[in-house]
């Protein structure tokens, strides 16, 4: 696969935005000073563009939906179960998976900083790191969910899970109705990143 070309305009001919220009200049300076190995930078970019991302978590969820034994292992001890699918790495060493049910909806936040299970969900969204989300998720979780377009029945309890550097949480959302005939790969396409944080729900089948 071709590497990341540091001498080409990443925007493929379009004018760089101010922040892109600053990143580009910093990247060039770090390489020039010898602080960054271009090959290592290529490998890092390749990993986060193609290997790490929410599609990994979606695979985990889909497997749990079709394999009851895997689901039990996942809820009992998330890290080794996730590793069974070849997913893991720094930031995913101590995974706890919590299951949504008709009675309980789980919401993940990191109130102190922005701890996030990168190997499973990829790069954290900007809003996850924002102080308003980190504060309101604890104080007004129903209001936060409403902001994301999620309205739960009044009787549904919302449980907040506070991620730390030692423990990262992932939500196992409920399987959508009408998916009984879908295979595992198709089910994975219904799983959204937000549904694994708790700010969203899986997509309905077409």
Q: Give tens-digit pLDDT for 94-117.
A: 999 999 999 999 999 999 988 999
pLDDT reported for residue 93: 86
Task: For residue 12, count other CB atoms closer than 10 A to its CB.
Answer: 6
163 is in an annotated binding site: no
pLDDT band at 21 (very low <50, low <70, confident <90, very high): confident
Is it the case that residue 6 has pLDDT exceeding 60?
no
From the list 133, 149, 146, 92, the residue with the least C-alpha distance to 115 is 92
pLDDT reported for residue 42: 58
Contacts 24+ apart (CB under 8 A), 40-48: 41/4, 41/6, 42/3, 42/4, 45/4, 46/1, 46/3, 46/4, 48/122, 48/123
Q: What tokens were used for 98?
A: 């919590």
Q: Which fold has domain 54-197?
A: Nitrile Hydratase; Chain A (3.90.330)
Alpha-carbon distance of 154 to 137, in angstroms, equals 17
Q: Which residues are catalytic?
A: 110, 113-115
Whether residue 202 contacts residue 190, with contact meaning beta carbons closer than 8 Å, is answered with yes
Express the helix, strand and coil content of the chain in percent, nearest 5 each. 45, 10, 45
Whether residue 82 contacts residue 88, with contact meaning beta carbons closer than 8 Å, is answered with yes
pLDDT reported for residue 13: 44
Alpha-carbon distance of 125 to 16, in angstroms, equals 22
115 is in an annotated binding site: yes
Report the SS3 class of residue 162.
Answer: strand
DSSP letter at 48 equals I
110 is in an annotated binding site: yes
pLDDT reported for residue 33: 75
Is it the case that residue 20 has pLDDT exceeding 70?
no
Is it the case that residue 8 has pLDDT exceeding 50?
no
Q: Record the pTM.
A: 0.77
11 is in an annotated binding site: no
User: Structural domain boundaries of the chain?
Assistant: 18-50, 54-197
pLDDT digits 0-9 by tens, 26-59: 767 777 777 777 666 555 555 555 556 799 999 9
């Amino acid at each position: 696969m071709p590497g990341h070309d540091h001498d080409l305009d990443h925007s493929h001919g379009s004018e760089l935005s101010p922040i892109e220009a600053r990143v580009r200049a910093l990247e060039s300076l770090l390489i020039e000073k010898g602080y960054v190995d271009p090959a290592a930078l290529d490998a890092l970019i390749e990993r986060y563009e193609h290997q790490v991302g929410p599609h990994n978590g979606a695979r985990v969820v889909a497997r749990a939906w079709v394999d009851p034994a895997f689901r039990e292992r996942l809820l009992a001890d998330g890290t080794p179960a996730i590793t069974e699918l070849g997913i893991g790495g720094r930031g995913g060493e101590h995974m706890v998976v919590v299951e949504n049910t008709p009675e309980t909806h789980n919401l993940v936040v990191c109130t102190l900083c922005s701890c996030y299970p990168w190997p499973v969900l990829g790069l954290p969204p900007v809003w996850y790191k924002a102080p308003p989300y980190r504060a309101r998720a604890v104080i007004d979780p129903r209001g936060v969910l409403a902001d994301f377009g999620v309205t739960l029945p009044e009787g549904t309890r919302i449980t907040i899970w506070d991620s730390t550097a030692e423990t990262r949480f992932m939500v196992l959302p409920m399987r959508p109705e009408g998916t009984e005939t879908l295979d595992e790969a198709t089910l994975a396409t219904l799983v959204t990143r937000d549904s694994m944080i708790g700010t969203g729900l899986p997509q309905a089948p077409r």
